[in-house]
Amino acid sequence: MSITIRPAMVEDFGVIVELFREFAHFEHLDERMTNSVEQMKAETEYFNCFVAVNKQHEIVGYATYFFAYFTWTGKSLYMDDLYVKEGYRGAGIGTILINKVIDFAKTSGCHKLRWQVSDWNAPAISFYKGLGAVIDAQERNCDLDL
């Protein structure tokens, strides 16, 4: 399968929002997906994303990320989402996407790449461990909606 990874563009926002909805559904958290194309356009300076595009020019996956500063390690990259459409999973697209994020973090001078994985998502946990990631079961998310 021929896949190209490129930065997301404003013209992609409609498709990306649909993929956000798919991912929320996959996570069984549909009600938490409140983002919209309009919101993304208003906040575009904060949105960082690589998209996986097939030879038919269809976006079949994405990885979103942002820079962070962790007190114990310094400059880091946080990968918020890594998602591949269901019909395209198992073809190596997730590997290509995360490797793009890893390379970007390295070339940006980051000391760490951090992300989350749901404790029920055994295939993802196995995939991430295969990359050498350490999955910490000690810390939990704390979200405060504003």
The most distant pair of C-alpha atoms in the chain lies apart, rounded to whole Å, by 44
CA angle 137, 138, 139 (to 5 degrees): 100
pLDDT tens track for 19-77? 999 999 999 999 999 999 999 999 999 999 999 999 999 999 999 999 999 999 999 99
| Domain chopping of the chain, boundaries | 3-130
Task: Match domain 3-130 to its CATH number in 3.30.450.40, 1.10.10.10, 3.40.630.30, 1.10.260.40.
Answer: 3.40.630.30
Angstrom distance (rounded) from CA 69 to CA 71: 6
| Residues designated as active site | 128
Angstrom distance (rounded) from CA 70 to CA 7: 25
Angstrom distance (rounded) from CA 33 to CA 116: 17
Beta-bridge partner residues of 51: 6, 62
pLDDT tens track for 100-140? 999 999 999 999 999 999 888 899 989 999 999 988 877 77
Q: Give the amino acid at 111.
A: H
Residue 94: band (very low, low, confident or very high) from pLDDT cuts 50, 70, 90: very high
